[in-house]
Amino acid sequence: MTDGPVLVVGGGPAGASAAASLAEAGLPVLLVEQRDALGGAIHRQPAPGHAHHIRLPARHRRNWAALTARLSTTAGRIEIRTRTIFLGVDGQGRFLFDDRAAERVFACRPRAAIIAVGAVETIRPFPGWERPGVMTAGGAQVLLKETGRPPQGPILVAGSGPLLLAVAAQLAEAGNPPVAVLERGRPWRAPGALAQLGLSGGLVGEGLGYLARLAASRVPYRTGAEVTRAEPQGDRLKVVIRTGSAEDVVQVRHLLVHDGIAPNRTGIPLPAPDAAVPVLLAGDGREALGADAAILDGRRAAMQLLARFGRAETTTPAEERGLSRARAVQTALAQALHAEAAPPPPETLICRCEGRSYAELAALPEDASAREIRLMGRFGLGACQGRFCGPMIAALRGRPMPAAAPPRWPLRPVSLAALARLTTDETE
């Protein structure tokens, strides 16, 4: 086993927690992050030349302040590389990265690796979701945090999940409250799940704060409502909304959609107990449990590596209890917001990269493997390699996608000039 650093991919709460825990134990760490600064999606920092005034709930600010303090205390043992994109693992087991600042690709063989690349948003497809003016709520939130500017013109927020409330409240705070928030689920019909959520403390307080902000901005919050179609109408979108058996139409400039998150696993080397270079997943990339749990899960992964190196216990009861509580909260949320999904119309686009429809997906054999779905149906063959359409296909087929051959690398676009300047840790 090499004596090199432990690699941590992802600078959000889980990655920062893992890096700090390893460094506090005396191990050297290489922490890589694709953005200009650490923080992940929840603590996204303003882009250069911009500022934002989006205030997170107090507990999130406290948690991130504590994490950055730990990173600062152990800075001598942590090398941080920002603007560095994880490209995959080559045939020789080397981890490949695109260093955008240096305009080169480098490869390294770490002592071990913790992959904490977060989650990807999921949506339920409907005709028109791929149109200009439609984007995910999380994507809009990132732009808002990076630039401080909300999208201009009327905005509709729709789908399912607590992120709808957060984004809508932040848009209102930034000066452009949405015309409405549409929640597909009917939480009031699940009193047991709501009662369990009521015991979760901070999460309920956070949600009530968002609802209060929306009420102050006179933003309607409608449950049992969903978008069934969006189509261009001049410089606006005509959005058809169904609530029960009734339909109505609104015209907006932007439609923000969101239906939850799923762990980002595309191209991630799966953990193997007997691997020469152990690889562990952490945070929402392992199990989507939220920002608070991601901190615990990052430490949990670090403790597992330290135990493998004979330097610590595998985990602590406090971490396991915290993760169990977060899992119970997510289960209760899923129960409260559950809404049966009807198949989309046949013409609905599923794979945006390749322009493949639901009719073409439904025509594939029921027992088609992931490879057959890719090669026969041409789903997931585009630039995103199934990051976005993969969870969508799994939901439509009613079961997880079967195992596929490892995606081709590089996982993300990279210039030939950067590849030509490839360096490795053996030559640097």
pLDDT at residue 340, as a whole number: 86
Cβ neighbors of 16 (< 8 A, separation 6 or more) are: 31, 38, 67, 68, 70, 71, 298
Q: How far apart are the C-alpha atoms of 382 and 265, rounded to whole Å?
A: 16
CA 342 to chain centre: 25
Q: Which helix (H) or strand (E) holds 354?
A: none
CA 114 to chain centre: 17
* Cβ atoms 116, 428 nearer than 8 A: no
CA distances from 380 to 264, 361, 366, 388 (A): 14, 12, 17, 8
Structure tokens at 239: 């959005």
pLDDT at residue 1, as a whole number: 43
* Cβ atoms 357, 347 nearer than 8 A: yes
* Backbone angles phi and psi of 62, in degrees to 5: -65, -45
DSSP letter (8 states) at residue 75? G
User: How would you class 399 by CB atoms within 10 Å of its CB: exposed for 0-12, middle for 13-18, buried for 19 or more?
Assistant: exposed
Nearest CA-CA partner of 122 in 265, 243, 220, 21: 265
Nearest CA-CA partner of 329 in 427, 176, 199, 418: 199
Angle between helix 163-173 and 137-147 (nearest 10): 30
Does the predicted TM-score (pTM) go above 0.75?
yes
Q: Which helix (H) or strand (E) holds 169?
A: helix 163-173
pLDDT at residue 406, as a whole number: 56
pLDDT at residue 229, as a whole number: 97
Q: How far apart are the C-alpha atoms of 224 and 247, rounded to whole Å?
A: 12
Nearest CA-CA partner of 189 in 342, 341, 340, 338: 338
Nearest CA-CA partner of 43 in 78, 9, 13, 18: 13
Structure tokens at 11: 């600078």
* Cβ atoms 10, 38 nearer than 8 A: no
DSSP letter (8 states) at residue 28? -
Quickly tell me which residue has 């149109």 as its tokens.
131
Q: Which residues in the chain show pLDDT less than 70?
A: 1-2, 52, 271-274, 313-315, 400-408, 426-428
Q: How far apart are the C-alpha atoms of 320 and 297, rounded to whole Å?
A: 9
Amino acid identity, position 58: A
Q: How far apart are the C-alpha atoms of 269 and 241, rounded to whole Å?
A: 41
pLDDT at residue 428, as a whole number: 46
* Cβ atoms 86, 409 nearer than 8 A: no
Q: How far apart are the C-alpha atoms of 254 and 160, rounded to whole Å?
A: 17
DSSP string, 240-255: EEEETTEEEEEEESEE
pLDDT at residue 401, as a whole number: 66
Count the alpha carbons within 13 Å of 268 in the hemisphere toward its beta carbon. 24
pLDDT at residue 408, as a whole number: 66
pLDDT at residue 271, as a whole number: 62
* Cβ atoms 168, 214 nearer than 8 A: yes
Domains along the chain with CATH numbers: 6-120+262-311 (3.50.50.60), 123-259 (3.50.50.60), 349-397 (no CATH)
Cis ω for the linkage preceding 402 (within 30 of 0):
no
Q: How far apart are the C-alpha atoms of 332 and 339, rounded to whole Å?
A: 14
